Structure 1
Amino acid sequence: MHDLAVIWDWAGFGIRWLHVITAVAWIGSSFYFIALDLGLTKAPNMPEGVYGEEWQVHGGGFYHIRKYLVAPAAMPEHLTWFKWESYSTWLSGAALLMVVYWAGAELYLIDPAKAELATWQAILISAGSLTIGWLIYDALCKSRLGTRPTTLMLLLFLLLVAMSWGYTQVFTGRAALLHLGAFTATIMTANVFFTIMPNQRVVVADLKAGRAPDPKYGEIAKLRSTHNNYLTLPVIFLMLSNHYPLAFATEYNWIIASLVFLMGVTIRHYFNVRHARGGNPTWTWLATAVIFVVLIWLSSVPMFRDEAGEAPAMSGEARVFAAAEGFAGAHEIVLGRCSMCHSREPFWEGVRWPPKGVLLETEADVARAARAIYLQAGITHAMPPANLTGIEPEERRALVAWYRAATR
């Protein structure tokens, strides 16, 4: 059974790799088409219905691209659809969420100091919360606010701030920021699946039937694509945040996450204006730098400390590891080799927060982190980094023996 941990970890690695590959494809195509759309120019003698054109050079060849504001007069023989990049990114991300945070709920998802949740309750909240944003956002877009894009974006930002705070009240800081990213990515993919693609299919159907497509379908799709454009960079930040405790394991992590959405707007605004040949809005870089400095300040002032009283009770699975042969020795090894960083008040020089928010002080801490200890410090030498604390080979073997005794 202990080999299942290795297989499971490799499965998570493979899914994460797939998620990154599909995300690169989706983000790349999204950024390309936004830049293309903004860079279109008028030219004499363009065919009827053409909004603008652009000449591009790449890979040793020239490309002549034209955009029809609604649709061409007839259905083209070859038509490439851009949808699977988005779908594959969301599906692989959902799979990764299940493998890492649902299967590892006790270590990565549930924070007993915030909410005493059973694993099934935490998973239900995790899955259910991802749909809420889309339902609210979609309702706002379909209301009269759909014609007021600035107001709509402001309300979307307030929704994201509310969810940022809400997630930090229920889950671990690491899981909270990750879920905010998944929450936002769900809105983006739902835009593609429920709005952009159906509208494009209506236009295609009209062309095939010889009808003139209604311009409103293109306008609606364009609005949703623009929203996706501004949300992309914050989602990337939130997906990377789980590697940086200064982002997720601080007292004001929900404010940090909220401000990241503003940085996403300032950065994208700069490139959008440049692509539209509208100037060089360098003020956006100053604004981004100021916000980033505020993030740094929020991550360290005031210093965040976990002042919870008693350590939360162990779950059934953790009790199995605590009762297994070799636990006392494993706990002693972890205290001597790992707790100087993975403690509520780290005393290793330069470490101010436990890496990735993982605590390895109490017996309950060690029992909950059994699988991670087995993988990181038992069968591999990932921890301690560069073996700075001098963990001995026999100590690693003792950690492996303890884990395997509990999983026989």
Structure 2
Amino acid sequence: MGYAHDFLALFLRWAHVVAGISWIGSSFYFMWLDASLKRRAGMPDGVKGDNWSVHGGGFYHTQKYMVAPEAMPDDLHWFKWESYATWLTGFALLSVVYWANAELYLVAPGGRVEPGVAIFWSVFGIVAGWVVYDLLCRSPLARAPMVLFGLLFVLITFTAYLYGHVFSGRAAFLQTGAMIATVMTGNVFFVIIPNQRVVVADLKAGRTPDPKYGVIAKLRSTHNNYLTLPVLFLMLSNHYPMTFGSPHAWVIVAIALCLGAIVRHWFNTYETGAKGVAVAWQWPLALALAVAMTAYAGLASAPSVPVASAGRTVADTEAFAIVAERCAPCHAAAPTFAAFNAAPGGVFLDTPERMATNADAIVAQAVTTHTMPLGNITGMTEAERATLAAWAAK
């Protein structure tokens, strides 16, 4: 059963990545297409602009209507299942990995909440995130897009801060990403596609479509576009404990939100043909934010590294006794911990030689960021972490 669970997680992760590539690819393409449209003489009434492209040896001519064409075309292609498939596979992956093993992946070390309670807050956070966001977008704030986006930034950052007090660092980042991703798919399912269906129904009935539906959908689509890169960062971060392992990891989330949005803004601006200052400030600022994130992660993690007593030397045998008890139940050729059939990440710590080979990883995961053991399931103490720090420093 263990291998079956692992393969289920693998296939779901694979499907999630494939669906995500499809959704992000189509989203980025249409944002580029919208920005690249040119108004030319002789265009039909109601056409905003057109685009000529070449790809794969063929030429493509695309036109965009301000609202809709006068009559429905025979074939109309919808872009929705990319979003739905991404969310469904992500939800399934969250269930199989984080909820099914909540005591390992979801619960914060020290057992601040029980696994069942953590799962409840995980589900509640995903649902509540969409409800609050949707209410804000339906409020008068929708007429002030920059104010609304600034408020969303504050709310997402504050949510990440709250998650850090309920979930493990890794789960807090993933949960924040899942909440944002749910907002993005909710925009497609509850707003963008229904609004498009209203326009299509009006065309079929011979009525003139109301432009407001396009305006509403455009606001949600723009939010999706600017949130895409931060979501990707949060989802990838679970492989890098220096991001979620710092005491104030919500700061990393705040920087990632800004960094991703600024990079995306450069692409959106550049693709309109803008030059000069309009496309000159984003990359320097993005680089500065990346440096700031790196520096902050290093400084924030430093105080959590136990400082060994002056002159203390820890023998390999003493260090291995800790590793054998706290780490090797999972990181062994034949793990004794029931959740694993093979050593996570292919890291083996079941002999002194293997422990020495992975000394840097032990310090990073168990000493600097406290992300290992997972959920501190084996009960590693601060004194033991200090001992490992002294051993690695000799």
1:346-369 deviations in whole A, cap 9, x for unaligned? x54894333892228988249xxx
Matched, 1:18 2:15: yes
Cα distance change, pair 270–238 in 1 and its aligned pair in 2 (3 A): same
Name which of 256, 259, 263 aligns with 1:260: 256
Matched, 1:134 2:130: yes
1:282 to partner: Cα distance: 2.5
The 2-side partners of 1:35 and 1:61 are apart by 19
1:253 to partner: Cα distance: 1.3
1:140-190 deviations in whole A, cap 9, x for unaligned? 111111111000100110111111101111110000101111011000000
1:277-326 deviations in whole A, cap 9, x for unaligned? 1125131111011111111111111415288xxxxxxxxxx9xx789xxx
1:367-406 deviations in whole A, cap 9, x for unaligned? xxxxxxxxxxxxxxxxxxxxxxxxxxxxxxxxxxxxxxxx
The 2-side partners of 1:199 and 1:182 are apart by 24
Q: Which moved more, 1:136-145 or 1:23-32?
A: 136-145
2:389 paired residue number: none
Q: Which moved more, 1:167-176 or 1:104-113?
A: 104-113
Q: Which moved more, 1:161-170 or 1:348-357?
A: 348-357
Cα distance change, pair 79–353 in 1 and its aligned pair in 2 (3 A): same
Tell me, yes or no, if the aligned pair for 1:341 and 1:351 is still in contact at 8 Å. no
The 1-side partners of 2:24 and 2:370 are apart by 27
Identity percentage of aligned residues: 47
1:396 paired residue number: none
Name which of 168, 174, 181 aligns with 2:170: 174
Tell me, yes or no, if the aligned pair for 2:110 and 2:375 is still in contact at 8 Å. no
The 2-side partners of 1:231 and 1:101 are apart by 23
Tell me, yes or no, if the aligned pair for 1:339 and 1:361 is still in contact at 8 Å. no
The 1-side partners of 2:375 and 2:167 are apart by 20
The 1-side partners of 2:262 and 2:72 are apart by 38
Name which of 91, 95, 100 aligns with 1:98: 95
The 2-side partners of 1:40 and 1:97 are apart by 39
1:55 to partner: Cα distance: 0.5
* TM-score, normalising length: structure 1: 0.78
1:136 to partner: Cα distance: 1.1
1:336 to partner: Cα distance: 4.4
Matched, 1:113 2:110: yes
Tell me, yes or no, if the aligned pair for 1:267 and 1:288 is still in contact at 8 Å. yes
**What does residue range 237-256 of structure 1 map to in structure 2 within 5 Å?**
237-256=233-252
Cα distance change, pair 193–360 in 1 and its aligned pair in 2 (3 A): closer
1:77 partner SS: coil
Matched, 1:35 2:37: no
5+ residue gaps, structure 1: 308-317, 324-332, 367-408
Cα distance change, pair 209–218 in 1 and its aligned pair in 2 (3 A): same
Q: Which moved more, 1:86-95 or 1:276-285?
A: 276-285
* TM-score, normalising length: structure 2: 0.81
The one-letter amino acid of 2:298's match is: S
1:353 paired residue number: 365
Tell me, yes or no, if the aligned pair for 2:108 and 2:168 is still in contact at 8 Å. yes
1:113 partner SS: coil
Matched, 1:291 2:289: yes
The 1-side partners of 2:194 and 2:229 are apart by 26
The 2-side partners of 1:6 and 1:30 are apart by 36
Tell me, yes or no, if the aligned pair for 1:18 and 1:92 is still in contact at 8 Å. yes
Q: Aligned Cα RMSD in Å?
A: 2.7
2:146 paired residue number: 150
- The count of aligned residue pairs is 339
The one-letter amino acid of 1:353's match is: Q
The one-letter amino acid of 2:292's match is: V
5+ residue gaps, structure 2: 307-329, 331-335, 339-348, 381-394
Tell me, yes or no, if the aligned pair for 1:322 and 1:363 is still in contact at 8 Å. no
**What does residue range 191-340 of structure 1 map to in structure 2 within 5 Å?**
191-279=187-275, 281-302=279-300, 303-305=302-304, 334=350, 336=352
Tell me, yes or no, if the aligned pair for 2:70 and 2:203 is still in contact at 8 Å. yes
